[in-house]
Structures are given as structure tokens and as C-alpha cells.
Structure 1
Amino acid sequence: MGAVLGAGHQAGEVLVPVLIGVVIDRAVAGSDAGSLGVWLGVLAAVYVGLALSFRFGAWSAEQAGVEADHALRVSLVRRVLHPRGGAEDGRLPGELANVTTEDSRRVGAAAMALTFGTAALLGIAVCAVVLLRTSVLLGLLVLLGTPVLMWLGHLLSKPLEARSETEQERAAHASAVAADLVAGLRVLKGIGGESAAIDRYRATSRDSLRATLRAARAQAFQRGMVLTLTGVLIAVVALVGGRLAVDGSISLGQLVSAVGLTVFLIGPLEVLAQVNAELAQGRASAARIAAVLAAPHAVPDGDRGLPQPVRGGVRLRGVRHGGLDGVDLDVAPGELLGVVATDPAHATALLRCLARHADPEQGAVELDGVPLSELDPGALREAVLVAHHDADLFEGTVRDNVTASATDPADSRAAGVGAEAAMEAAGVTRDLRALPEGDGTRVSERGRSLSGGQRQRVALARALAADRPVLVVHDPTTAVDAVTEARIASGIREIRKSRTTVLVTTSPTLLAVTDRVALLDGGRVVDTAHHSVLVGRHETYRTAVLA
């Protein structure tokens, strides 16, 4: 619609100098007042038509661009959040945010530019037809000169496309570094690393600035050269038209029309130059978007649904992945199992396999006898929740964060009961007394308005409120005191009664309430027994847990 209405506007613009030429030939030259009034009325009607066409055509083009931008952002967010993962590999969160916002905007702008470019081409075509009717030579100049001008403009846009891609990459990297530094601001202040962080960001920002300036210079050069070439074409058309008028080949009105049409050509030709620039930048951004959308998934899709009902039995058979060396482990339905890993990297590898963020290189992880690799990752999340100790909170209230992953957060009554029990078990209830509005207290981005211990307890309450058949929790009490940790340990055991729970931790307080503990040493499960038994039986265990 934007292209059609834009073409109507361009056709109206072409008719204006033509009608002025008609007025001169039929009314002014012949001193016909009646004819003058009629043609001025026609001219006024054309003005109204072209004004309305421009208004609604521009509105339609803008809407097309915004909708394209929105559709791309939705597709990118859907890909980044896909249960099978993979889009984030090798990319910092800040870079993904830049692709989702700035690159999508540029591609949306290219979609909008296409509507204006189409209208400009149709305007030039109408102008050429009118000039052909006036003079074949003038028409041929426009018809042959415009494609040459567009081809030269395309060639001149190639350096801009390359530099625009570099500009976007450097800008995305600068955004990613900034987001990374802000996320670790407290740590940087704690170790006195502010100066090094500032130097790092300054260097990254300067690289981005240099890339932006190079792209700006390329854009200025491209536009300047296209404008120069456009001026040459218009000057040639005007010169040829003037000679034809002198020779008597065309009338005075036709000369005025030809000059007016030549001046009109400046507009659509400049639009085409801008469209070339927009498309060059849009192509660079589109390539970055395509790279994210086409990123391979971290794990293949599964075609089996969850076993019904989900009992919660978990079994690892000969699992080899990221340092794990043939792990064999059985977790009975409803069991509270502790896992102590002497190497933190092995704990991380185990969590990735249980969450199916990655499939084992060898062996299998099973849920109630069904390999996780055969299950749909999205469906798996409904049965197995892996809660990392560094999980982020979101903007909103404390209660919003706790109920974010509840089974039915839409049911406020059911979610509320779960939330109360989860907050009590995680030790959040005591924190609420110190907060200004209790569980209605607003939480800032990533929970930075809360202390480290409060953030950790709210994240644990969120995991407990989800009420999944299988819950895997990683070091949930590293930022709490001993008394609170003892209460949380009892709370977890009570609220997860009859539900399968795996605590990956080295906290003796948490391990003491488990049914049994698996010792993961050297990438293998070397022993399983109750916490008190392992303390007396293994020096390695005592070192990992009590040292």
C-alpha cells in the first residue's frame, strides 16, 4: 500500500509541471481566463491528491518498516529462548541485545526504504513517458540515464555495506563489554579493578567509534558521488530541452514542463540514492540476524513425550561429558540425593547433562527409563528443573519472581499457596520483614536492589515454587549464614517430600539432611552413602566438605 500510494504521489508530482505547461500554452498564451480557471482547478485537485497520497503512503511505509522490525525481534527472541538453545553460543548477552534491537531496526528501515524506492522508480517511469511524448530524445535520456545512475550507486554502496557490517559488529561488542562490566560491577569494586575495566571499555569504545566514523565517511562519499552524478544527468536533460525549445521542436509550455520535470527528477533520484544506502546497511544487519537465526541448536529435538505419570526416577549410565568419565548413578523417585564434586567443572558438566543443555558424548541420562535425548526439550523442562546458584532475578516484585515458574501462575490462589510455602522453606519469609513492602517490594534489574543472600533465597524459592517432579539445585546457600542455612536445609527436605531432589553442593548442613550422598571424584562416582558415613570413610570427601 505504501508503494502504491507513494507512486500516486510521484505521479501527481509529475503532473504538476505538465499541467503548468498546459496552462501556459492554452490559457496564458491565448489570454483565455475561463480556460485558466479550469486548469488551475485541475492543478489544485492534483495537489490535493498528491498530498493525501504522500501522507497515507508514508504512514503505510512506516507501518511496514515497524512491523518488519517487530517481526524480526520476535523471531530473534524466540530463537534465543528456544529450549534447544545454541543461539547464545559464542555471543555475549549484550551482542544478542544489539542484534535484536539495532540490526532489526535497520532491516525494518530497509523494508520501509523499498516502498519509497518503488514509488521513486514509478515516478521516474511516468516522468520518462511524459518526456517521450514531449521529445523522444529527452525521454531516452531519462530512460537510459537512470539505470546507469542506479548501477553506479549500487557499486558505490559496496564499501558502505562492508564498513556498516564492521560498524555493527564493533558496536555490538562494545555493548556486550559494557553489559558484562555492569553485571560484575560489585566484584570489580571489591577487587579494585575499576581502572582496568575502564581501560578495557575505553579501548573497545574507541574501536567502535573508529568503525562508525569509517562507515559515516563511506556513506557521505556514496551520497556525494550519487548527488553529483544526479546533477550531471539533470543538467544534460535541461541542456537538451533548452536546445529543442530554441530550435522550435517543442513549445514554450513544453519547455517549462521539461525543465520542471527535470527538477522533479532530483527528488526520486535522491530517494534512490538513500535507498541504496539503506539497503547496504540493511544487508549487513540482515547477515548478522541470519547468523543468529541459523545458529545450530545445542541439542537435537526429541520426538517422545514425558512418561505418564512422571515418577521422577533419574539414571545416568556411563555418562562422558566435559570431564565426566563414565558416571553411573541411580536416583530413586522421591529421593533427596546429595552430590559432592571435588572439581567444580565436573559439577557444571553434570548440571548441563541433567538440564539437557548438552547431550553426553557417550552414555545416557534417563528419566523414568526414557533417555533425555529422546524427549522434547520444552516438555523436559516441565518435569526437570535445574536451578543454578547464580540464577538471575527479574524486574518486578519479590512475589512475581517467586511465582515466575509456578505450575499455574495464572491461578493466583494456587500459585499463592505454593509461593508462601516456597518462601518459608527458602528462608525468604524472614527477609520480607525487613523489606519496605514485604513480598510486594519491587526488585530491580537482576535483583541488584537485594543483598546477595536475599537474591539467592528468592531464586531458591522460585525453584521450589515451580514444584517440578525432579529438582536439581546447585549450591543454593553459599551466601547465607549457618543458622539460616540449617533452616533452609530442613525446609527443602520438608517441601520436597516425595519429590525427587538432587542437591549439588559441598555444604555439610545441606548434605546432612539428604537420604544419601554421591561422591564425584575424578569424573566418576566413587562412592555413595549417607553423609555421616562418607565423612568417616573418605579423606577426599572430608577435604571437599569440611575443609
Structure 2
Amino acid sequence: MGALLGAGHQVGEALVPVLIGVVIDRAVAGSDAGALARWLVVLAVVYAGLALSFRFGAWSGERAAVRADHDLRVRLVRRVLEPGGGAEEGRLPGALANITTEDARRVGAVNMALMLGISALTGILVCAVVLLRTSVQLGLVVLLGTPVLLWLGHLLSKPLETRSEAEQERAAHASAVAADLVSGLRVLKGIGGEAAALHRYRTTSGDSLRATLRAARAQAFQSGMVLALTGCLIAAVALVGGRLATQGSISLGQLVSAVGLTLFLLGPLEVLASVNAEMAQGRASAGRIAEVLATPYAVRAGDGALPRPVRGAVRLRGVRHGGLDGVDLDIEPGELLGVVATDPAHAAALLRCLARHTDPDSGDVELDGVPLRDLDPGELRTAVLVADHDADLFEGTVRGNVAGSVGTSGDATGDPAGDPAVVDAAMEAAGVTQDLRALPYGDGTAVSERGRSLSGGQRQRVALARALAADRPVLVVHDPTTAVDAVTEARIAAGIRQTRKGRTTVLVTTSPALLSVTDRVVLLVEGRIADTAPHTDLVRRHETYRAAVLA
């Protein structure tokens, strides 16, 4: 619709100098007032038509661009949030944000560029037809010169495409570094690393600036060269038209029309130059978007069905991944199991396999006898929840975060999504209830982005309460109490055992308070299970365990 209406606008623009030439030949030259009035009315109608066409054509083109931008953003966000994962591998969050915003906008803008390009080509075609009817020589100058001009403009846009891609790459990296530094600002201040962080960002930002300037120079060179070539074409048309007029081959009105059409050509040809630049930038951004959308999934959805009901029996058979070396483990339904890993990397590898963020290099992880690799990762996470140590909170309220209710804006709302009794029990077990007395509005206290308005211990307890309130058949928690005092930790340990009674729970931790309430503890040494026994037995008989837990 935008291209059609834009073409109508350009046809109207091209007809204006033609009508002026007609007015001169049929009304002014013959001093015919009636003809003058009639042709002025026709001219007014053409002006009204081209104005309305421009207004609604631009609206349609802009709407198409914005919708394409929005659709691309939705597709990118859906790919990043896909349970199968993979899109975030090797990319910082800031880089993904830049691709999802700036690159999507540039690709969406191609719709507007196409609309403008089609309109400009229509205007050039109408201009060429009119000039051909006036003089074959004039028409041929336009028809032969325009394709050559477009081809040269395309060649000149190649360096811009390359430099635009580099510009977006460096800008995305600068955004990623900035987001990374802001998220760790408190830590940087604590260790006195502000100067090093500032130097790192200045270096990255300088690289981005240089890439932007190179792209701007390429765009300026391309625009200047195309404008110069356009001027040459217009000069050629004016020269041929003037010579024909002096020879008497065309009338005065036709000469005026030819000159007017020549000046009109400047607009469409400039538009085509800018369209070439937009297309070059759009192609560079499209390549970056395509890389994200085409990233292989970390895990694939299987064709198996989740057991119903889920009993919570978890079995690992010969699991090898990320340092795990042939781990064999049976977790009984309803068991509260502790896992102590002497190497944190092995604990992280175990968590990735249990959450099915990745599949083991060899061996299998099973839930109630069904291999996890046979299940859809999204469906699996309705039964198995792995709560990471550094889980983020949402903007909203304390209770909204614990209840896991998320509004349409993506913020945690204050309207609980779960059973209020379950939410209250989870907050009590995680020690959040005690914190509420110190908060200004209790569980309705506002939580800022990523929970930065809360202390480290408060964030940790709210995240644990959220995991408990989810009430999954299988819950795996990683170091949930590293930022709380010993008394609170002991209270939380008892609360976890009480709240999770009868459901499978795995505590991956080195906390003695948490391990003391487990049914048994598995000790991982060098990626293998070295021993399995209750906490007190392992403390008594295993020196490596004592070093890991009590040191």
C-alpha cells in the first residue's frame, strides 16, 4: 500500500511540470483565460492527489517498517528465551540487546526504503516516458543513464555495507561491556577496580567510535559520489533539451516541462542514493540477526512424554560432561540429597545436566525412568526446577517476586499468581518473613531492577522463597545461603526440610547447616563420586569432605 500510494505521489510530482508546460502552450501563449482556468483546476486536483498520496503512503510505509521491526524483535526475544537455549552462547547480554533493538530497527527500515525506492523508480519511469514522447533523445538519456547511475550507486554502497557491519559489531560490544560493568558496579567499588573498568570501557567505546566514523565517512563518500553522478545526468538532460529547443524541435512549453522534469529527477535520484545506503546498512544488520536466529539449539526437544504424575526419581548413569567422569547416582523420590563438589566447575556441570541446559557428552540423566534428552526442555522445567546461585529478581514487589507473577510489561506484579498459603510458607521457610519487619511496606515493598534495592542476603532469601513457592516435584538449589548469617542459615535449613517434605530436593552446597538436614550427602572428587553417606558420617570418616565443608 505504501509503495502504491508513494508511486501515485511521484506520478503527480512528475505531471506538475508537464501540466505547467501545457498551460504555457495552450493558455498563456494564446492568451486564453478559459483554458488557463481549466488547466489550473486540473493542476490543483493533481496537487491535492499527490499531497494525499504522500501523506497516506508515508504512513503505510512507516507502519510496515515499525511492524517489521516489532516482529523481528519478538522473533529474536523468542529465540533467546527458547528452552532449548544456545542463542546466548558466546554473546554478552548487551550485544543481544543491541541486535534486538538497533539491528532490528535497521532491518525494519528496509520496508520504508523499499517503498521510497519503488516510488522513486516510478517517478523516473513516468519522467522518461514523458520525455520520450517529447523527444526520443531526451527519453534515451534518462532511460540509459538511470540504470548506469543505479549500478554505480550499488558498487559505491559495498564499502558502506562492510563498515556498517563493523560499526554495529563494535557498538554491540560497547553496549555489552557497559551492561557488564554496570551490573558489577558494587563489586568494582568494593575492590577498587573503578579505574581499570573505566579504562576498559574507554578503550571499547573508542573502538566503537572509530568504527562509527569509518562508516560515516563511507556513507558521506557514497552520498557525495552519487549526488555528483546525479548532477551529471541532470546536466546532460538539460543540455540536450536546450539544444532541441533552440533548433525548434520542441515548443516553449515542452522546454519548460523538460527543464522542470530535469529538476524533478533530482529528488527521485537522491532518494535512490539514500535507499542504497539504507539497504547496505539493512543487509549488514540482517546478517547479524540471521546469525542469532540460526544459532543451533543447545538441546533439542525429544518426542518422549513427561511422566504423569511425576514421582521425582532422578537417576544419573555414566554421566560425562564438563569434568564429570562417569557419575552414577540414584536419587529416590522424596529424598533430600546434599551434593558437595570439591571443584565448583563440577557442581556447575551437574546443574547444567539436571536443568537440561545441555546434554551429557555421554551417559544419561533420567526422570522416573525417562531420559531427559527424550523430553521437551520447556515441559521438563515444569517438573524440575534448578535454582541458580545468582538468580535475578524482577522489578515489582517482594511478594510478586516470590509468587512468580509477571505482568504484561515483564515486571513482577504485586498480584500473586500462586496459592497464598504456599507463598507464605515459602517466605517463612526461606527466612523472608523475618526480613519483612525491616522493610517499609512488608511484602509490598518495591523491588528495583535485578533486586538491587535489597541487600545481598535479602535477594538470596527472596530467590530461594521463589524456588520453594514454585512447588516443583524436583527442586535443585545451588548455594542458597552464602550471604546469610549462621543462625538464619540454620533456620532456613530446617524450613527447607519441612517445606519440601515428600518431594525430591537436591542441595548443591558446602554449607554444614544445610547438609546436616539432608538424608545423605554425595561427595564429588575429581568429577567422580568418592563417597555417599549422611553428613555426620562423612565428617567423621572423610578428610576431603571435612576440608571442603568445615574449612
- Tell me what 2:239 maps to: 239
The answer to whether the 8 Å contact 1:405/1:463 transfers is no
The answer to whether the 8 Å contact 1:336/1:500 transfers is yes
Q: For structure 1, list consecutive stretches of 5 or more residues without a partner in the other structure.
A: none
Matched, 1:523 2:524: no
For the residues of structure 2 that align with 1:296 and 1:257, how far apart are their CA atoms?
59
User: How many angstroms does 1:487 deviate by?
Assistant: 1.1
Which of 485, 508, 511 is the equivalent residue of 1:481? 485
How does 1:295-444 map onto structure 2 within 5 Å? 295-404=295-404, 412=416, 414-444=418-448
SS at match of 1:320: strand
SS at match of 1:325: strand
The answer to whether the 8 Å contact 2:321/2:362 transfers is yes
- Tell me what 2:287 maps to: 287
- Tell me what 2:220 maps to: 220
Alignment RMSD, CA only? 1.2
How does 1:95-134 map onto structure 2 within 5 Å? 95-134=95-134
The answer to whether the 8 Å contact 1:405/1:462 transfers is no
User: How many angstroms does 1:424 deviate by?
Assistant: 1.0
For the residues of structure 1 that align with 2:423 and 2:44, how far apart are their CA atoms?
69
- Tell me what 2:176 maps to: 176
User: How many angstroms does 1:442 deviate by?
Assistant: 1.5
Distance change (3 Å), C-alpha of 1:78 and 1:383: same
Matched, 1:52 2:52: yes
Distance change (3 Å), C-alpha of 1:486 and 1:385: same
- Tell me what 2:457 maps to: 453
Matched, 1:493 2:497: yes
Instruction: Note the alpha carbon deviations across 1:441-485, whole angstroms, 9 max, x for none.
Output: 221111111100011011111111111110000000000011111
- Tell me what 1:535 maps to: 539
The answer to whether the 8 Å contact 1:405/1:466 transfers is no
Worse-matched range after superposition: 108-117 or 150-159 = 108-117
- Tell me what 1:75 maps to: 75
- How many residue pairs get aligned? The number is 545
Residue type of the alignment partner of 1:181: L
For the residues of structure 1 that align with 2:511 and 2:34, how far apart are their CA atoms?
100
Instruction: Note the alpha carbon deviations across 1:218-276, whole angstroms, 9 max, x for none.
Output: 00000000000000000100110011111111111111111101100001100000000
Q: TM-score, normalised by structure 2?
A: 0.97
Distance change (3 Å), C-alpha of 1:102 and 1:86: same
Instruction: Note the alpha carbon deviations across 1:8-33, whole angstroms, 9 max, x for none.
Output: 00000011001101100001001110
Residue type of the alignment partner of 1:83: P
For the residues of structure 2 that align with 1:135 and 1:244, how far apart are their CA atoms?
8
SS at match of 2:419: helix
- Tell me what 1:256 maps to: 256
SS at match of 2:312: coil
Residue type of the alignment partner of 1:136: V
User: How many angstroms does 1:153 deviate by?
Assistant: 0.3
How does 1:83-94 map onto structure 2 within 5 Å? 83-94=83-94
User: How many angstroms does 1:296 deviate by?
Assistant: 0.7
Matched, 1:509 2:528: no
User: How many angstroms does 1:411 deviate by?
Assistant: 8.8
For the residues of structure 2 that align with 1:185 and 1:435, how far apart are their CA atoms?
24
User: How many angstroms does 1:528 deviate by?
Assistant: 1.1
For the residues of structure 1 that align with 2:416 and 2:435, how far apart are their CA atoms?
22
For the residues of structure 1 that align with 2:203 and 2:264, how far apart are their CA atoms?
47
Residue type of the alignment partner of 1:451: S
The answer to whether the 8 Å contact 2:405/2:416 transfers is no
- Tell me what 1:38 maps to: 38
User: How many angstroms does 1:416 deviate by?
Assistant: 2.5
Worse-matched range after superposition: 500-509 or 437-446 = 437-446
Instruction: Note the alpha carbon deviations across 1:338-395, whole angstroms, 9 max, x for none.
Output: 0011111110000000001111111100000000011011110101010011111111
Percent same amino acid at aligned positions? 81
For the residues of structure 1 that align with 2:147 and 2:420, how far apart are their CA atoms?
67
Residue type of the alignment partner of 2:513: T
Residue type of the alignment partner of 1:41: V
User: How many angstroms does 1:300 deviate by?
Assistant: 2.1
The answer to whether the 8 Å contact 1:456/1:479 transfers is yes
For the residues of structure 2 that align with 1:387 and 1:541, how far apart are their CA atoms?
24
- Tell me what 2:409 maps to: none
User: How many angstroms does 1:524 deviate by?
Assistant: 0.9
The answer to whether the 8 Å contact 1:397/1:443 transfers is yes
User: How many angstroms does 1:417 deviate by?
Assistant: 2.5
User: How many angstroms does 1:410 deviate by?
Assistant: 11
The answer to whether the 8 Å contact 1:405/1:465 transfers is no
SS at match of 1:520: strand
For the residues of structure 2 that align with 1:524 and 1:461, how far apart are their CA atoms?
31
For the residues of structure 2 that align with 1:368 and 1:494, how far apart are their CA atoms?
23
SS at match of 1:170: helix
For the residues of structure 2 that align with 1:112 and 1:396, how far apart are their CA atoms?
38
For the residues of structure 1 that align with 2:311 and 2:126, how far apart are their CA atoms?
73
Distance change (3 Å), C-alpha of 1:313 and 1:411: farther
The answer to whether the 8 Å contact 2:106/2:281 transfers is yes
Distance change (3 Å), C-alpha of 1:405 and 1:301: farther
User: How many angstroms does 1:412 deviate by?
Assistant: 4.4
For the residues of structure 2 that align with 1:502 and 1:270, how far apart are their CA atoms?
66
The answer to whether the 8 Å contact 1:453/1:480 transfers is yes
For the residues of structure 1 that align with 2:63 and 2:143, how far apart are their CA atoms?
31
User: How many angstroms does 1:491 deviate by?
Assistant: 0.9
Residue type of the alignment partner of 2:535: H
Residue type of the alignment partner of 2:362: Q
Instruction: Note the alpha carbon deviations across 1:38-71, whole angstroms, 9 max, x for none.
Output: 1000000000000000000000000010001001
For the residues of structure 2 that align with 1:477 and 1:204, how far apart are their CA atoms?
36
For the residues of structure 1 that align with 2:8 and 2:158, how far apart are their CA atoms?
31
For the residues of structure 1 that align with 2:119 and 2:279, how far apart are their CA atoms?
16
Instruction: Note the alpha carbon deviations across 1:89-144, whole angstroms, 9 max, x for none.
Output: 11111100000001001101112111110111111111111111111111111111
Distance change (3 Å), C-alpha of 1:143 and 1:413: closer
For the residues of structure 1 that align with 2:94 and 2:388, how far apart are their CA atoms?
21
The answer to whether the 8 Å contact 2:481/2:489 transfers is yes
Worse-matched range after superposition: 292-301 or 468-477 = 292-301
The answer to whether the 8 Å contact 1:17/1:256 transfers is yes
For the residues of structure 1 that align with 2:163 and 2:93, how far apart are their CA atoms?
23
For the residues of structure 1 that align with 2:86 and 2:539, how far apart are their CA atoms?
40
For the residues of structure 2 that align with 1:110 and 1:413, how far apart are their CA atoms?
41
- Tell me what 1:195 maps to: 195
Residue type of the alignment partner of 1:253: G
For the residues of structure 2 that align with 1:158 and 1:15, how far apart are their CA atoms?
35
For the residues of structure 2 that align with 1:153 and 1:275, how far apart are their CA atoms?
10
SS at match of 2:510: coil
Q: TM-score, normalised by structure 1?
A: 0.98
For the residues of structure 1 that align with 2:547 and 2:69, how far apart are their CA atoms?
55
Distance change (3 Å), C-alpha of 1:46 and 1:135: same
For the residues of structure 2 that align with 1:171 and 1:403, how far apart are their CA atoms?
37
The answer to whether the 8 Å contact 2:414/2:444 transfers is no
